[in-house]
């Protein structure tokens, strides 16, 4: 909690500014309207779009990959089923990466939380499926 107190008291900031808890919303609104907000977000979203394109290519490659013919039948069945799940999860994540239409605080906040929830869901359902898929599609 000391770090939080430092933020709001100004003792941890370089500029020596302080911010009272009740002023946080108005401070965020000021930052939103200040010059550079949209440019900063546009840069971040451009990077996300680049990564989304790479992810899309990787998902397409995985979806069309052929397994090694010498793979044991049980592992092959499990791996192919798991591949379907991994592809589905990655495609869902791709959709969530798309930036919001509006570049205001509300839209970006909602986009951020949707993306975080999508990542959480992907991570929790991805573990075992990823091991099966990696076993028969190592590339």
Q: Say if pTM beats, i.e. exceeds, 0.75.
A: no
What's the alpha-carbon Rg for the chain, to the nearest Å?
Answer: 22
Measured between alpha carbons, how far is 81 from 42 in angstroms, rounded to an integer? 38
Helices (H), the chain: 2-9, 24-33, 37-64, 73-97, 105-136
The DSSP secondary-structure symbol of 100 reads: P
- pLDDT averaged over 10-residue windows placed end to end, the chain, 139 residues: 54 57 73 69 82 89 88 88 87 82 80 84 77 79
Between the alpha carbon of residue 103 and those of residues 1, 31, 93, the distances in Å are 32, 13, 20
Model pLDDT, residue 70: 85
Q: 51 and 90 in contact (C-beta within 8 Å)?
A: no
pLDDT at site 60? 92
For 130, how many CA atoms within 13 A lie in the half-sphere containing its CB?
9
Provide φ and ψ at 102, rounded to 5°: -95, 150
What pLDDT does 11 receive?
A: 54
CB-based contact 76:64 (threshold 8 Å)? no
């Amino acid at each position: 909690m000391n770090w939080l107190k430092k933020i709001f008291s100004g003792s941890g900031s370089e500029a020596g500014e302080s911010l009272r808890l009740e002023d946080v919303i108005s401070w965020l609104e000021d930052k939103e309207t200040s010059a550079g907000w949209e440019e900063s977000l546009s840069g971040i979203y451009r990077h996300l779009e680049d990564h989304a394109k790479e992810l899309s290519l990787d998902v397409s490659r995985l979806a069309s990959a052929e397994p090694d013919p010498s793979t044991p039948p049980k592992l092959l069945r499990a791996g192919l089923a798991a591949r379907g799940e991994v592809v589905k999860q990655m495609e869902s994540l791709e959709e969530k990466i798309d930036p919001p239409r509006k570049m205001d605080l509300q839209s970006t906040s909602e986009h951020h939380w949707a993306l975080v929830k999508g990542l959480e869901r992907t991570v929790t359902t991805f573990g075992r499926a990823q091991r099966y898929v990696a076993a028969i599609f190592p590339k």
